[in-house]
Amino acid sequence: GVLGVLHDVLSRAADVAAGHKAPPPDWPLRAVDRVHEQLSGLLEARTTARQVVTIAPRRWGLRTTIEAADHQAVHVALLAGSVLQLARAVSSGPDSDAARDRLAPSLPTVLVVLAAAAALAEPDPAGACAYTASARDHAAELQSGAHERTQVILADVVSACIDDLQHVIDLRHA
């Protein structure tokens, strides 16, 4: 559920960065609410799973699996924070097309690629890895073209999202 919501946030951020849709004034708040709702459900499931493997003797053998899931959940939460930071940076960016082009012309593309990677992280880790590799190429373009403070910040946040998503993929299917 968390990855699905992150996909939606990244897709909306791509639309905003491309100038296709102006975000509603409450968009960042709604995105935060949706992400945290999913993270809360994940936390609840993790807590229940830890209690079950502690109390139920037949489930004791799953303790290492639950520990691995807990470790991955930490990285999912870090990814969520990175995506929300990216959405914030995109939604608070300039409104004019000229200013948006100066900000980062390849930003919408990298956001679309990241959204695709997030959508595939669970069902198709190899496909998700291919998308994260493509996102790294686009992020390198962002980094090399970053001359203003805002461009550097966006490039860094995009790179953090890519790194966090790759870590989630690697932990899930290790």
Q: Going by C-beta distance under 8 Å and a sequence separation of 6 or more, which residues neighbour residue 62?
A: 49, 52, 53
Q: How confident is the model at residue 173 (pLDDT cuts 50, 70, 90)?
A: low
Q: Is residue 137's pLDDT more than 90?
A: yes
| Higher pLDDT, residue 5 or 148 | 5
pTM: 0.84
| Higher pLDDT, residue 160 or 149 | 160
| Alpha helices in 92-148, H assignment, sequence order | 97-103, 107-120, 125-145
